[in-house]
Structure 1
Amino acid sequence: MQGFSLRQISLTSAGKIRFCLDVTVFALFVIGMLITIADNAFAVERPNIVLIVSDDQGYNDLGLLGNGIITPHLDRLAAEGTRLTDFYVAWPACTPSRAALLTGRYPQRNGVYDMIRNEAPDYGHKYTASEYAVTFERIGGMDTQEVILPRLLAPSGYVSGIYGKWDLGSLKRFLPTSRGFDDFYGFVNTGIDYYTHERYGVPSMFRNLSPTTADRGTYCTELFQRESLRFLDEHAGKTPFFLYVPFNAPHNSSALDPTIRSSVQAPPRYKAMYPDVDPEFRSTDKHRYQRPATVTTPDARRRDYRAAVTYMDEAIGSILAKLEQTDTLDNTIIIFFSDNGGSSGADNSPLRGHKAQLWEGGIRVPCLVRWPGGNIPAARVCGEFLTSLEIVPSLLAATSTPTPKDLKLDGFDWWPTLRGESSSPRSEMFWRRKDDWAVRAADWKYVSMGGKTALFDLNADISERTDLTEKHPEVVREMKQRLSDWDAEMDAAPPRGPFRDF
């Protein structure tokens, strides 16, 4: 259609002027409608996002790896997508890892570089309501200046829901729906009892900004599954969506009863999928809650841990089924990984160490990515150096969402790497937890745990057994310099709470 200009309107008669104006208005109306229709069609075609995070799952705890754990739906994601073998999180435990994956920024840059929690319950103390109200676990949270993924995606038309573990603050200003999520159901701190939804006796479940005990007694994985399916029923195929499902499985129960606290809660039906254990419990005189105390045996804990993973896997399967039912599966980016390395009951082999440590077993985790609509290969195993800091920039790139000019991200767009088009741009990664630290540069890993340092070649020694410090002093010098430079950059970053001094 040829456009009209008011300068081209003939002034020979009022009728002609009116006719030309009417045609101009009509043309502009049609053009506007076409733009709106095109925008709506483009919005529907934007990829959906499902980000699933497990809690303390071991590096080797996928059924396809052959250790006996039952995870058919995670195995399906690996078969239909790409499995990452050199994928790292930004911290070896819950809270900073989650802050980093949602901001795309190092914990030391976003200010959440340690846990937002109280230590007293670990020694059997149950807070009263008035005591808990003024504890750091209740009042601490991620700085409100930090911008997280759902708020970044909102200008591109995404509706966002989170169902599961939040762990970035309990006060209203810190909660998910105050940070960009449109809907939230889950718990707000770092761990709960799977049935009572209490953390050491403190009710911890919220719906949006309000505490709730409505579902007390129902296993929480079932609840997070229920809410995720409700979200998909409401939005799948209608608008682009971001569904974040941070399960608390297979994290141990945060209960004061040593019998419960010493294991991972799981329904009997899922325990029955694994070999019988005898005995289930043992007595110990060394427990910090009670002496003597009755606790779960290591074999029983291992079974319970696996049962919790299998229930979580079944919930993931129901999400995949719902995406298939709504014909949105192949246009949905599905990313799965664990928030940190596995703890007791987990299998981190062949890695050394576990959760809370900076050995590979604390920071290298299983990761699966499925997105056939984005040409991510099926059944591919990718050994490129990648991290959770890549999540935010990659999802912004996939959704054609601009990154704010004043936002400093510590990751990059990983899609060319996952497609096999190029090597990972990442050459280094840094971690600090209290007095421990680690640097990975290319295949070199320089780590300090408990005041003792060691250098490893991860290409030849993934299990970190052979210290090469004396053999390669020049590498040690380079690694120390890299760490010093990174520390200086983090110290110079604008201060963020709750741990920075400002």
Structure 2
Amino acid sequence: MHCRLRVCARARSLWGGPGVVAWIGAIALVAATLQIAPAQSPPNILLIVSDDQGYNDLGMLGNGILTPNLDRLAAEGTRLTNYYVAWPACTPSRAALLTGRYPQRNGIYDMIRNEAPDYGHRYSSSEYAVTFERIGGMDEREVLLPELLAAGGYRSGIYGKWDLGTLKRFLPTSRGFDDFYGFVNTGIDYFTHERYGVPSMYRNATPTVEDRGEYCTHLFAREALRFLDTTGDDTPFLLYVPFNAPHMSSSLDPKLRSTVQAPEEFKTLYPPVLQEFRSVDNYRYGGAAEVVTAAAKKRDYRAAVTCMDAEIGRLLNNLEAQGTLDNTIVIFFSDNGGSGGADNSPLRGHKGQTWEGGIRVPCIVRWPAGGVPANAVSDAFLSSLELVPSLAAACNVSLPPDLILDGFDWWPVLRGQANSPRSEMFWQRKELLAARVGKWKWVHMGDTAQGLFDLSNDPAERHNLAEEFPDAARAVQARLHAWQTEMEQAEPRGPFRDY
């Protein structure tokens, strides 16, 4: 236990008095006023993840979107401009951030979802019960962040999007979380809480329709605030709030599916659009349909982000009122690159792609008590793989000696005490590949495009330098192949691997 000596002003002045009597008197007074102050309390953790938010979609960056509370976070913390997630879409990205392991190592290297709704099919209850979206889940041998932090006395809650399995053995309360309210699959209708007609909301391990009709962003914040209000002052916590905003709505109705649902009060914060809907001859699964215009989609997307931002503000205000905000590690980022009405500029590409716009995302870290600078911007090469080792280190929690992690403790980097030890990172989504080694990035987008790019001069990946620097191209590809070999040789995990 650390202690601190606190000496009153009168005692300090006596140290300078003449003679032994004064000196002895000072000693006595100091001894009488000595107090042992407790060590700084373990930090709390508020981990906020948005869904499909664009790299440039923060108000402070000047594109017109309204995010005053995220702007506040950035002003009081450090914004990361070179921060990557481990996969360009939902499920594997979330598995990686909770395990600290590449998707190819933890076993969730593709989506746990059904494809039939893409063709207009609505599942019956009995049919859905035996689909992969219902029965797939993260390998039970994987150790998640809340399980690790429980050893340090942490209480944990998750409110929002889970996306790592719907059977009871895969649900959050079976994987280390103490409390859960949210939906269990990839996306829902924001009001009905259904995924293409399938009810998807759970409270802990039980399906629920108790809040049907209420906007889910409000619900997730409500539950997160309840968690804060019911967690004792002497109990450190992990509060994970994975909003589904601003993900597109999962509905078979083209008017909903073609946009992001948002409350009207937040839509009115943006300029009105001239035309809400347009007619198309062939929408996704065939047939004419009415869908939203590009202008309406952009407005709806921004309104959903601003609504989420308002709820983030409520969480910050609650912590501030409790006097715990400064010793709460607040981390915000998007699970992957933006889509729909998102703005990923100046990056190329979007969600689902291995261009920078699919894997480099906005990220903000606030922790004044931990020495994270305020109003700072860091271009250090960092990733979501760093979260597990970094949070374990901050919480003074030992990691299992046999646990292989793909990240590191990033606090020295964020404090400006060291350069990032990350020099490379790799991505694979089916045939889509990418490798970053130092300043170089190799991209293989299937039959669409491929090439070598110098991210230090060309973050927008406009200039393919493969022919100009063939040795660099071969070197980066060699590192990619070595990583693929390492992942293949790793202890296999389900649900996709054959073992």
TM superposition score normalised by structure 1:
0.91
User: Which residue pairs with 2:477 in the alignment?
Assistant: 480
The structure-2 alpha-carbon separation of the partners of 1:161 and 1:58, relative to structure 1 and needing over 3 Å to count, comes to: same
User: Aligned letter for 2:491?
Assistant: P
Which of the numbers 459, 462, 473 marks the counterpart of 2:459?
A: 462
The answer to whether 1:96 aligns with 2:86 is no
Alpha-carbon distance between aligned partners in 1 of 2:438 and 2:375, rounded to the nearest angstrom: 25
Which of the numbers 220, 235, 238 marks the counterpart of 2:234?
A: 238
3-state DSSP of counterpart to 2:492: coil
Deviations 1:49-104 (A, max 9, x none): 00000000000000000000000000000000000000000000000000000000
Alpha-carbon distance between aligned partners in 2 of 1:370 and 1:118, rounded to the nearest angstrom: 37
User: Which residue pairs with 1:161 in the alignment?
Assistant: 157
Alpha-carbon distance between aligned partners in 2 of 1:238 and 1:225, rounded to the nearest angstrom: 23
The answer to whether 1:176 aligns with 2:172 is yes
User: Aligned letter for 1:487?
Assistant: Q
3-state DSSP of counterpart to 1:318: helix
3-state DSSP of counterpart to 1:156: coil
> How much does 1:344 deviate?
1.6
Which of the numbers 489, 495, 499 marks the counterpart of 1:498?
A: 495
The answer to whether 1:300 aligns with 2:296 is yes
Deviations 1:245-294 (A, max 9, x none): 00000000000100000000001000000000110000000202452100
Alpha-carbon distance between aligned partners in 1 of 2:275 and 2:474, rounded to the nearest angstrom: 52
> Which stretches of structure 1, 4 residues or more, deviate above 3 A after TM superposition?
none
Alpha-carbon distance between aligned partners in 1 of 2:57 and 2:48, rounded to the nearest angstrom: 15
The structure-2 alpha-carbon separation of the partners of 1:395 and 1:52, relative to structure 1 and needing over 3 Å to count, comes to: same
Contact 1:236 1:326 in 2 (8 A): no
Which of the numbers 369, 379, 385 marks the counterpart of 2:381?
A: 385
Which of the numbers 236, 247, 250 marks the counterpart of 2:243?
A: 247
User: Which residue pairs with 1:5 in the alignment?
Assistant: none
Alpha-carbon distance between aligned partners in 2 of 1:209 and 1:41, rounded to the nearest angstrom: 38
The answer to whether 1:374 aligns with 2:370 is yes
Deviations 1:190-218 (A, max 9, x none): 00000000000000000000000000000
User: Aligned letter for 2:251?
Assistant: A
User: Aligned letter for 1:202?
Assistant: V
3-state DSSP of counterpart to 2:147: helix
Alpha-carbon distance between aligned partners in 1 of 2:317 and 2:293, rounded to the nearest angstrom: 36
Alpha-carbon distance between aligned partners in 2 of 1:440 and 1:429, rounded to the nearest angstrom: 5
User: Which residue pairs with 1:256 in the alignment?
Assistant: 252
Which of the numbers 318, 325, 348 marks the counterpart of 1:322?
A: 318
Contact 1:188 1:204 in 2 (8 A): yes
> How much does 1:484 deviate?
1.3
Contact 1:428 1:440 in 2 (8 A): yes
Alpha-carbon distance between aligned partners in 1 of 2:381 and 2:406, rounded to the nearest angstrom: 14
Which of the numbers 303, 308, 331 marks the counterpart of 1:312?
A: 308
3-state DSSP of counterpart to 2:346: coil
Contact 1:333 1:371 in 2 (8 A): yes
> How much does 1:155 deviate?
0.6
Alpha-carbon distance between aligned partners in 2 of 1:383 and 1:113, rounded to the nearest angstrom: 27
Contact 1:253 1:260 in 2 (8 A): yes
User: Which residue pairs with 2:216 in the alignment?
Assistant: 220
* 1:82-161 to 2 correspondences below 5 Å: 82-161=78-157
Alpha-carbon distance between aligned partners in 2 of 1:47 and 1:69, rounded to the nearest angstrom: 31
Alpha-carbon distance between aligned partners in 1 of 2:478 and 2:50, rounded to the nearest angstrom: 34
Structure 2: any 5+ residue segments left out of the alignment? 1-35
Contact 1:258 1:289 in 2 (8 A): no
The answer to whether 1:196 aligns with 2:192 is yes
Contact 1:256 1:289 in 2 (8 A): no
Name the stretch that deviates more: 385-394 or 483-492. Answer: 483-492
> How much does 1:237 deviate?
2.5
The structure-2 alpha-carbon separation of the partners of 1:319 and 1:116, relative to structure 1 and needing over 3 Å to count, comes to: same
The answer to whether 1:439 aligns with 2:419 is no
* 1:314-353 to 2 correspondences below 5 Å: 314-353=310-349
Which of the numbers 187, 193, 207 marks the counterpart of 2:183?
A: 187
Contact 1:236 1:323 in 2 (8 A): no
Alpha-carbon distance between aligned partners in 1 of 2:445 and 2:99, rounded to the nearest angstrom: 27
User: Aligned letter for 2:435?
Assistant: V
User: Aligned letter for 1:199?
Assistant: R
Contact 1:237 1:327 in 2 (8 A): no
User: Which residue pairs with 1:422 in the alignment?
Assistant: 418
User: Which residue pairs with 1:229 in the alignment?
Assistant: 225
* 1:7-18 to 2 correspondences below 5 Å: none
3-state DSSP of counterpart to 1:471: coil
Alpha-carbon distance between aligned partners in 1 of 2:455 and 2:423, rounded to the nearest angstrom: 14
The answer to whether 1:59 aligns with 2:55 is yes
Between Structure 1 and Structure 2, how many residues are aligned? 463
RMSD of Structure 2 on Structure 1 (CA)? 1.1
> How much does 1:238 deviate?
3.0
3-state DSSP of counterpart to 2:222: helix
User: Aligned letter for 2:498?
Assistant: D
The structure-2 alpha-carbon separation of the partners of 1:131 and 1:247, relative to structure 1 and needing over 3 Å to count, comes to: same
Deviations 1:135-190 (A, max 9, x none): 00000000000000000000100000000000000000000000000000000000
The structure-2 alpha-carbon separation of the partners of 1:121 and 1:81, relative to structure 1 and needing over 3 Å to count, comes to: same
Alpha-carbon distance between aligned partners in 2 of 1:219 and 1:47, rounded to the nearest angstrom: 31
TM superposition score normalised by structure 2:
0.92
The structure-2 alpha-carbon separation of the partners of 1:147 and 1:41, relative to structure 1 and needing over 3 Å to count, comes to: farther
